[in-house]
Amino acid sequence: MTACQAINQMQSFANCSFRRQDVGKFNVAGINLEGRKSLSDFGFADIATLGQAWANPEFPLNFVINVEAKNPNTQLASMIRMDWVAEVDGKDIVSGNVNQRVEVAPNGGTAIIPVNVGLDLKKLFAGSERSGALNFLLDATAKGNDNNRIALKIRPYIRIAGLDIPYPGYLTIKKEFNSTN
């Protein structure tokens, strides 16, 4: 791909609209949390497993944020990879990257970009009691995509002459489609 093509595809990608399609696949200590809204939704074995996991140095939570990109441009929009930052309650909590090429077809085409998020709830709620972390988990799984506590920022990259060039700054992903420019 020529440098001009790569720059044009990055510009098209930056002009795409993005939204958080859904947030799901919540898992903590090997327990699937989907559909659980209160402690009564957990069996004795699940509660024992959660209690034992809380006693460990880390209390890992994993979930997926699916980002939908919509391309209003007349040419292909693409990136080779992206960095991301997840926020909870307006605070950056964890970051990572998606190492896959994403192409969004022109003229209203869409693509889904799955972002796998893993974080330590003990660090997130340092100083909080156990109920604070549990309440966050239940709130997040019950609300799914309606959860406004979880936000995402992304920075796409293009490759020119073997070098990965980042977009200048992060694009904020919200619940509804919105233009990023």
* pTM of structure: 0.79
pLDDT averaged per 10 residues, the chain (length 181): 69 82 86 79 86 86 91 88 87 90 92 92 68 63 63 86 85 71 43
CB 139 within 8 A of CB 125: no
DSSP label at residue 33:
-
Closest CA to 171 of 157, 155, 158: 155
* 3-class DSSP state of 8: helix
CATH, range 3-24+60-128+143-179 = 2.60.40
pLDDT of residue 67: 92
